């Protein structure tokens, strides 16, 4: 899918490949205090049949990525991140839309994730997309023993009409 976000800028989404791991690791280290390793991503792409990962490119450069596990009719977001230099441009919003649309296309009915209790920016984005808090995982993050908020959203049936593809159904 191609979207123009500014004049002459070309935003594209595609499946992650093994060759993308160095770029993804750079994004991981900018975004997270507990970044995943090269081995973790390699295993996700080659061994985990439930894993689906995508790259977001701007003018051919990887600037973000997202991943999820698709199990039965539920998608679990594993990671979503945008390069620091590109934050504040609603690109995380577009990346999450694409991930939700892909999950819906794959037949997923619900989507879940964990987010740090202190990460209000991410929680705000998720709430905007229809995610609702459903509980807390105590001590979830091993770097500082921080709790995680568990959030869930219902996904529209693939092809269902809505404001845009990937948008969640209105209650």
Look up residue 106 and give its two tokens.
């794959």
Residues 105, 114, 141, 146: which is the catalytic one?
114
Q: 28-46: per-residue pLDDT in tens?
A: 999 998 899 999 999 999 9
Above 70 in pLDDT, residue 161? no
pLDDT (0 to 100) of residue 166: 45
Sheet holding 146-154, edge to edge: 2-4, 10-15, 51-58, 61-71, 74-82, 110-116, 146-154, 132-141
pLDDT (0 to 100) of residue 168: 44
What is the dihedral sign for C-alpha 17, 22, 28, 34?
A: positive
pLDDT (0 to 100) of residue 157: 83
126 tagged catalytic: yes
Coil, helix or strand at residue 110: strand
Residues 105 and 70: their CA atoms lie apart, in Å, by 11
Residue ranges and CATH numbers for the domains of the chain are 11-154 (3.40.630.30)
DSSP 8-class letter at 41? H
Residues 57 and 60: their CA atoms lie apart, in Å, by 5
Q: 95-129: per-residue pLDDT in tens?
A: 999 999 999 999 999 999 999 999 999 999 999 99
Residues 53, 65, 98, 126: which is the catalytic one?
126
For 81-99, what is the mean pLDDT? 95
74 tagged catalytic: no
**Residue 48: is it exposed, middle or buried by C-beta count within 10 angstroms (0-12/13-18/19+)?**
middle
Above 80 in pLDDT, residue 171? no
């Amino acid at each position: 899918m191609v979207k123009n976000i500014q004049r002459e800028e070309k935003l594209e989404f595609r499946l992650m490949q093994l060759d993308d791991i160095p770029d993804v690791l750079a994004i991981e280290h900018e975004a997270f205090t507990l970044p995943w390793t090269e081995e973790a991503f390699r295993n996700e792409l080659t061994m985990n049949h439930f894993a689906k990962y995508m790259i977001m490119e701007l003018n051919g450069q990887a600037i973000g990525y997202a991943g999820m596990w698709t199990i039965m009719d539920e998608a679990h977001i594993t990671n979503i991140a945008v390069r620091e230099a590109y934050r504040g441009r609603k690109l995380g919003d577009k990346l999450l839309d694409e991930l939700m649309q892909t999950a819906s296309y794959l037949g997923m009915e619900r989507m879940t994730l964990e987010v740090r209790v202190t990460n209000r920016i991410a929680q705000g984005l998720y709430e905007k997309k229809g995610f609702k808090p459903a509980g807390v995982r105590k001590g979830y993050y091993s770097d500082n023993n921080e709790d995680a908020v568990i959030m869930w959203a219902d996904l529209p049936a693939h092809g269902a009409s809505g404001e845009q593809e990937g948008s969640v159904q209105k209650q």
